[in-house]
Amino acid sequence: MLVEPLSALRYASSPRRTAPRRTRRTDRAAGYWRRLLPALALLALVTRLPSFLHPLWSPDEGYLAVQARILADGGALYDTVVDRKPPLLPWLYEATFALFGDESAGAVKALAVLAQLCTAALLAATARDRWGDRAGRTAGVLHLLVSIGLNPEDTQAATFEVFMLPFTATAVWCAGRGRWGAAGLAVAGALLTKQTGGAVLVPVLWLLWRASPARAGLSRLSAGLVLPVLAVALVTTPAGFLFWTVTGSGAYATFTGSELHVLSRGMANTALLCLACAGLLPPLLRTLRGGGRGTEGPGAGARASAGTGTADLWLWLAVSAAAVLLGFHFFGHYFLQLLPPLVLLATAALRLLPRDRLASALLTSACICALFLSWGVLAPRPELGHVQRLADAVRARTAPTDRVLVWGIHPETYWLADRTPASRYLTAGLLTNYSGGRDGPEVGEKYGVAGTWPVLVSELRARPPALIVDDSRGKPFAPERLPTLRKLLARHYEPLTQTVDGAVLYVRSPGD
């Protein structure tokens, strides 16, 4: 008679025994993040303070700002304005300008601070899941310290890699927790921010392969990845999306023509990155040589015993390095993609070394961060000054409704002058291949994106620009080296005696 009541009592009392334990874990996690997130937020803001000192840091920011204005005025991506990049970041700029105005990029810069904070927090969450609380704090802080360890033009600009990294970090974190649908969405977000962000799919697939069972996870991962990409392709037009993000960049992605030029750039940026990671590389190399000694340290607990491997992180680093090499341009901002796996690998190495190694790594990284921060604050910006003077001259020579063609690599001139571009091609690079960083041999009309010159000619005939600015200043894309543009200027325009730092302004010929 008493069996049934006693059995019922046991089952009824079971939740009461486990609930406090579950509550303690939740409270402990909440307390951990309440302490860590404000510190990371402050560090993210400090490291990106230089980004607020100038209107723009790079031509990429200018390109995005001009795209956003054109889209807000009813333009269509991959039609009335084009670029080789996926649409997520132009849409983000457009939405931000719609909410906060397009006279300043301050709101986008604030979002870049948030993007770095999210990346740091996600890396902290990944490290904490694998190795404990202290590892989480280490990963979050190290990422923010090394995140500005390149030329400030590459790290302080609110451009593609900065907004791509939160997606890549999310993908690996979700995959580590078996959330395959969310991991697929994160990979899609990275891919739709910049094509090379899709490299994170490789470590995600590795983690899926290691999971059991993997078949159901594969379907969720595939759906999360494929559906957003298809949706974006349909919204923008599939043919235009495919051409401008994949098939239309053949000349851009070749190595021939400027080998020494791009290799020297690659070596310089590699050296800068090694300097920035001077606190991370020694412990990582020490553990690779088998020199790691010590214990996991406090905070690791039982969670550290589950999934302490780093094979997926090495794979992530390898495919990120391949993404940096892709196209053989080695721009500094490309190297930002290496930082998340490097930070996690260094965090894993530091937990195997004595505690004083962690303090040394953090101190070294903080000192070098201060060096790069000072560079960002104090470095002169001569090109920005030139573009601002050029924008003033354009504004003085044209009416607000006039269309202008700036023949150069600084699309921010349109944005600063508040004038509408006369062509969907915002730089000379798309028409000459100079945007690939080429120094001469493979720059010209025949190296431009296929089909662009006939479109440019038709645009200029349909709506002749009131002003053409030759901002080539001796570069290989100068009009005298381009027959089509040279003939157009000779027939319909005449140069002004006024020049701006070597840039020549052309107005329409009288009676034309």
Q: Is the dihedral of CA 246, 250, 251, 254 positive or negative?
A: positive
Identify which has the larger pLDDT, 447 or 303: 447
Q: Please write the tens of the pLDDT for every residue from 381-426.
A: 999 999 999 999 999 999 999 999 999 999 999 999 999 999 999 9
pLDDT at 262: 80
Do 376 and 431 meet the contact criterion of CB atoms below 8 Å apart? no
Write the Ramachandran bin of 440: left for phi over 0, alpha for psi from -120 to 50, otherwise beta. Answer: left
pLDDT at 386: 96
CA 218, chain centre distance (Å):
27
What mean pLDDT, rounded, does the chain reach? 89
The percentage of the chain sitting over the pLDDT mark of 70, rounded to a whole number, equals: 88
Quick count: other Cβ atoms within 10 Å of Cβ 115? 22
pLDDT at 261: 77
Least confident piece of the model among 11-15, 221-225, 378-382, 455-459? 11-15
Asked if the model's pLDDT at residue 351 lies above 80, the reply is yes
pLDDT at 210: 87
Q: What is the 3-state secondary structure (H, E, C) of 269-331?
A: HHHHHHHHCCCCHHHHHHHHCCCCCCCCCCCCCHHHHCCCCCHHHHHHHHHHHHHHHCCCCCC
- Can you tell me the distance from the alpha carbon of 285 to that of 113, in angstroms, rounded to the nearest whole number? 31
Asked if the model's pLDDT at residue 300 lies above 70, the reply is no
Asked if the model's pLDDT at residue 477 lies above 80, the reply is yes
Asked if the model's pLDDT at residue 355 lies above 50, the reply is yes
Do 33 and 133 meet the contact criterion of CB atoms below 8 Å apart? no
Asked if the model's pLDDT at residue 296 lies above 60, the reply is no
Name the 3-class secondary structure at 102: coil
Query: Which helix (H) or strand (E) element contains residue 403?
Result: strand 403-407
Six-digit token pair at 200?
A: 């994170």
pLDDT at 249: 73
The percentage of the chain sitting over the pLDDT mark of 90, rounded to a whole number, equals: 76
Asked if the model's pLDDT at residue 292 lies above 70, the reply is no
CA 419, chain centre distance (Å):
27
> Which amino acid does the sequence have at 374?
S
Residue-wise burial string across 316-346, b where 16 or more C-beta atoms lie within 10 A, e elsewhere: bbebbeebbeebbbbbbbbbbbbbbbbbbbb
Q: Which residue has the tokens 């005696």?
A: 497
pLDDT at 10: 40
pLDDT at 303: 36
Identify which has the larger pLDDT, 466 or 329: 466
Q: What is the mean pLDDT of residues 30-49?
A: 95
Asked if the model's pLDDT at residue 4 lies above 90, the reply is no
Least confident piece of the model among 102-116, 207-221, 249-263, 422-436? 249-263
Q: What is the C-alpha R_g of the chain?
A: 26
Q: How many CA atoms lie within 13 A of 437 on its CB side?
A: 19
Q: What is the mean pLDDT of residues 73-78?
A: 95
pLDDT at 329: 83
pLDDT at 118: 98
Name the 3-class secondary structure at 248: coil
pLDDT at 482: 96
Confidence grade of residue 297 (pLDDT, cut at 50, 70, 90): very low
Confidence grade of residue 255 (pLDDT, cut at 50, 70, 90): low
Identify which has the larger pLDDT, 370 or 291: 370
Identify which has the larger pLDDT, 320 or 256: 320
Asked if the model's pLDDT at residue 79 lies above 90, the reply is yes
pLDDT at 26: 76
